[in-house]
Amino acid sequence: MFSGASHPDVSDAGGDHLHTGGQYALDSQAEQDQYEGELQCLADRVETPEEKKRLSEAMELSNIREHLKSQDVYIVEVPLRSKNGKYRQKQIRCMYLNQQTGTLLLMLSDVEDIVKEEKEKQEQLEKALKMAEAANEAKTKFLAGMSHEIRTPLNSIVGFSDVLAVGGSTEEEQQSYYQIIKTNSDLLLRLINDILDLSRLEANRVTLTWEECDVVQLCSQVVASVSFSRQSSDNQFLFSTSFETFRMVTDVQRMQQVIINLLSNADKFTKRGKITLDFSVNEEKQMAIFSVTDTGCGIPKEKQGLVFERFEKLNEYAQGTGLGLSICKLIVHKWSGSIWIDPDYTGGARFVFSHPLNIEKE
Q: Return the pLDDT at 320.
A: 58
* C-alpha to C-alpha distance for 75 and 67, rounded to whole angstroms: 10
Structure confidence at residue 150 as a pLDDT band (50, 70, 90): confident
Stronger pLDDT, 141 or 222, i.e. the higher one = 222
Decide if pLDDT at 145 tops 80: no
**Cβ proximity of 195 and 222 under 8 Å:** no
Q: Return the pLDDT at 203.
A: 83
Type of residue found at 24: Y
Decide if pLDDT at 318 tops 60: no
Which stretch of 10-19, 66-75, 92-101 has the lowest confidence by average pLDDT? Answer: 10-19
Q: What is the percentage of the chain residues whose pLDDT exceeds 70?
A: 86
Q: Return the pLDDT at 26.
A: 58
Q: What is the pLDDT of residues 2-14, one digit of tens each?
A: 544 333 333 333 3
Structure confidence at residue 16 as a pLDDT band (50, 70, 90): very low
Stronger pLDDT, 318 or 6, i.e. the higher one = 318
**In whole angstroms, how large is the CA radius of gyration of the chain?**
36
Which stretch of 13-17, 125-129, 258-262, 328-332 has the lowest confidence by average pLDDT? Answer: 13-17
Q: What is the percentage of the chain residues whose pLDDT exceeds 90?
A: 38
Q: Return the pLDDT at 117.
A: 81
Q: Return the pLDDT at 312.
A: 65
* C-alpha to C-alpha distance for 239 and 220, rounded to whole angstroms: 6
Give the bridge partners for 1, in sequence order. Answer: none
pLDDT (average), residues 120-132: 89
Residue 300, SS3 per DSSP: coil
Stronger pLDDT, 312 or 39, i.e. the higher one = 39
In DSSP notation, 101-154 reads TTEEEEEEEE-HHHHHHHHHHHHHHHHHHHHHHHHHHHHHHHHHHHHHHHHHHH
Alpha-carbon distance values, 14 to 55, 81, 302 (Å): 17, 6, 56
Residue 32, SS3 per DSSP: helix
Decide if pLDDT at 110 tops 90: no
Q: What is the pLDDT of residues 202-237, one digit of tens each?
A: 888 888 999 999 999 999 999 999 998 888 889 999
Q: Return the pLDDT at 309.
A: 80
Q: Return the pLDDT at 82.
A: 83
Helix and strand element counts for the chain (H, E): 9, 12
**Cβ proximity of 46 and 63 under 8 Å:** no
Residue 215, SS3 per DSSP: helix
Q: Return the pLDDT at 313.
A: 63
Decide if pLDDT at 107 tops 80: yes
pLDDT (average), residues 179-189: 87
How far does Cα 91 stand from its chain's mean position? 37
Give the chain's mean pLDDT: 84
Decide if pLDDT at 359 tops 70: yes
Q: Return the pLDDT at 215.
A: 97
Which stretch of 25-34, 86-95, 207-216, 282-291 has the lowest confidence by average pLDDT? Answer: 25-34
Which stretch of 169-173, 187-191, 294-298 has the lowest confidence by average pLDDT? Answer: 187-191
pLDDT (average), residues 12-26: 41
Stronger pLDDT, 140 or 271, i.e. the higher one = 271
pLDDT (average), residues 27-47: 81
Using a cut of 0.75, tell me whether the model's pTM lies above it: no
